[in-house]
Structure 1
Amino acid sequence: MVVTGTIIYLVCLNYYSTEGRFFQAESLVAPRANNIMCNESDLKHFPNGSVDFRGFNNYTGYSSGCYVVPDIVHYIKFNQDEFSFIEMICIASILINHKPSRLMIHTNTFQLHGKYWTAIKRLPNFDRVNVVYLEKPTSIFGHSLDSGFGVWHASDIARLRLIQTYGGIFCDSDVFVVQSLHPYRRFEFALEWNYHMYLGNQVLFGHKDARVIPHWLETYKQYNGSLWYYNGGELPTQAVLYYKPELFHRVRDKFGTDLQMLNYLYNTTDWAWQEYQAIHLFINHQKYIFNESSVLIYPDSPIKQMILSVMQDYMYPSLEKTGELP
């Protein structure tokens, strides 16, 4: 049975589905579109073909300004086959404000459905969305992910492995993308790490051969399932980032990963949210339930402005009542 399970897992890693159709994952390489990926001649390689980033400048990137990270956005959805309103809004922000070459929704369910999935399929650039089956990690280095915060920690591990497999950009399910994220694709690996905080893993950019990923994953040998952010942020900051700052590009206060976002988003009226590249909405840290009806009566605030900036006309209650939205 172990052999059978392994075969199924490997098959799932190498194939993705869109509306029930399966294709080999090699076809997921993002097209160059209007951006310029670095040429192979720009990169140094090891004999095994992986990129040799030794000596790479993660402060400036290549002088030509070419992109190292492919324009693929990764989104993880484990153990859920329906989307919330906020998840739909955040996916809309990716497709409308960044317009990636690919948005890969990685899930361990076989059929996505529901009102907000219907809305997502009507979004601009939905033809760039691929639904990809991904087995949820259940253990790491012999440590089970079945207790404590393990369900959420599985996503922390999967996002690193996805970048290691494909390269690209990872966005948490409640990250609202405000502007194009292309500037951070110039670096081997990029993340937000503010002065007074541990790293934020809600928005990540990386080449599949980024050197920091193996070091980060190695810290899971000291896995602690009872602490929310120990392995996701605290330990890798202390054990890796402090000692190997040359392995990544440090972003400060551009991805909204600070808890102070709660006050700015929900309790102010004139905060300049448009100046950020992306903002973590901390949706599970506030009590209001947002949907296409409730947001219209929510007090004027940045969160309301952000939602309405990407909420399509067909999501308004008046249109829902006419039967246009199932």
Structure 2
Amino acid sequence: MWQKKTLPHTSITHSIPATDVNYNCTPVVPRILHLAWYGSKTRPAFRFHHVISVMSSLRFIQPERIMFWHDEVPIGKWWTFIRQKINKTTTSLVLMQREAPKEIFGRPVTKSEHHSDIVRLEAVMKYGGIYHDLDVIVLRPLGKLYCHNTTMGEESPDYLCNGFFMSVANATFLKLWHDSYHSFDSTQWGYHSVKMPGIIAKRHPGLVHVEKDTIHKPNWEVPERRKLYEDGVFYNWTARNYAVHLWYRFHNVDYNPESIKRLNKTVGQIFRYIFYGLSYML
């Protein structure tokens, strides 16, 4: 037996707005959502946390269209489920088939994560819009972030994570970032995906708006991840987060609509909030 319950530090969770049109500035980033699906041959099925991610964007971004970049289309019941969800909204789903890039500027690209890194950057450069990983959960409208030419979230003081970014098409920051791939080395795991945008931001701070603690906090480091996944620990995501990055490859547990009812941890709160529309259920 379970019932709705609100924890003391989540007093504002039921007042988070569904829309946010009062920017007090001119929005320039189009409501195009880019998602990427690469490296799926070993596990091709869409999963429940992917559903939560897309549902969160349907609710808070309300994109005009979703451009789903992929080498192969996902399979499974949750892929069918989310396509049905999208069909019930005003959002159009566009399947953007693109083979995994084998090289960039003549330099070999061998890892699926790097394939996705390149596809997402080139997609937003060309079309503008918002990109986020399928383990990023959007928690409230992005509001004034639409008014910056480019926005990224800080992962740590020297790193900007490419798991979420938004931009106008052909932004100078994105061009500099893309041009840095002339020195790409696949043995350097996160250099071009997180370190290089951090370097460019420090050199050209006027080209990018940086959100320090509203997108990728808690970060991927163990003490931070515990705030998401440790039983009885509740991170106050309602206070300021535009989104939460789940860093799911470090957790990698399959959930479903029934099992999330009993998750006594932050990720349980977030999943229930998006899937059921309530901030906390026990």
- Normalising to structure 1: TM-score of the pair? 0.70
The question of whether the paired residues in 1 share the 8 Å contact of 2:228 and 2:234 is answered with no
Structure 2 stretches lacking a partner, 5+ long: 1-18, 278-282
> Is 1:196 aligned to residue 157 of structure 2?
yes
User: Deviations 1:187-238 (Å, cap 9, x if unpaired)?
Assistant: 1111012563411111101011210111111211221212221111113322
Relative to 1, partners in 2 of residues 1:64 and 1:183: Cα closer, same or farther, differing over 3 Å?
Answer: closer
Q: Secondary structure at the match of 1:199?
A: strand
Q: Secondary structure at the match of 2:124?
A: helix
Residue of 257, 266, 281 corresponding to 1:302 = 266
> Is 1:120 aligned to residue 82 of structure 2?
yes
CA distance in 2, matches of 1:251, 1:236: 13
- Normalising to structure 2: TM-score of the pair? 0.80
What one-letter code is carried by the residue in structure 1 that aligns with 2:242? Q
The question of whether the paired residues in 2 share the 8 Å contact of 1:194 and 1:251 is answered with no
CA distance in 1, matches of 2:158, 2:121: 20
The question of whether the paired residues in 2 share the 8 Å contact of 1:170 and 1:203 is answered with yes
> Is 1:266 aligned to residue 226 of structure 2?
no
Q: Secondary structure at the match of 1:253?
A: coil
CA RMSD of aligned residues (A): 2.5
User: Deviations 1:80-109 (Å, cap 9, x if unpaired)?
Assistant: 353111111111111123322222211122
- Give the equivalent residue in structure 2 for 1:252: 212
CA distance in 1, matches of 2:193, 2:113: 10
Q: Secondary structure at the match of 1:170?
A: strand
What one-letter code is carried by the residue in structure 1 that aligns with 2:121? L
User: Deviations 1:37-69 (Å, cap 9, x if unpaired)?
Assistant: xxxxxxxxxxxxxxxxxxxxxxxxxx9611111
The question of whether the paired residues in 1 share the 8 Å contact of 2:25 and 2:144 is answered with no
- Give the equivalent residue in structure 1 for 2:109: 145
> Is 1:175 aligned to residue 136 of structure 2?
yes
Q: Percent identity?
A: 24
- Give the equivalent residue in structure 1 for 2:45: 82
CA distance in 1, matches of 2:66, 2:135: 15
Relative to 1, partners in 2 of residues 1:287 and 1:73: Cα closer, same or farther, differing over 3 Å?
Answer: closer
1:12-161 aligned at under 5 Å gives the runs 65-80=25-40, 81-109=44-72, 111-123=73-85, 125-128=88-91, 129-146=93-110, 150-161=111-122
Residue of 251, 254, 257 corresponding to 1:289 = 254
Higher relative contact order (CA 8 A, sep 6+): 2
The more displaced of 207-216 and 281-290 is 281-290
Deviation at 1:117, TM superposition (A): 1.1
Deviation at 1:118, TM superposition (A): 1.7
CA distance in 1, matches of 2:272, 2:76: 21
- Give the equivalent residue in structure 2 for 1:243: 203
CA distance in 2, matches of 1:290, 1:103: 24
> Is 1:207 aligned to residue 168 of structure 2?
yes
Q: Give the structure with higher Rg (CA).
A: 1
Deviation at 1:70, TM superposition (A): 0.3
CA distance in 2, matches of 1:103, 1:132: 10
CA distance in 2, matches of 1:89, 1:246: 34
What one-letter code is carried by the residue in structure 2 that aligns with 1:263? R
Relative to 1, partners in 2 of residues 1:64 and 1:86: Cα closer, same or farther, differing over 3 Å?
Answer: closer
What one-letter code is carried by the residue in structure 2 that aligns with 1:92? M
Structure 1 stretches lacking a partner, 5+ long: 1-32, 37-62, 314-326
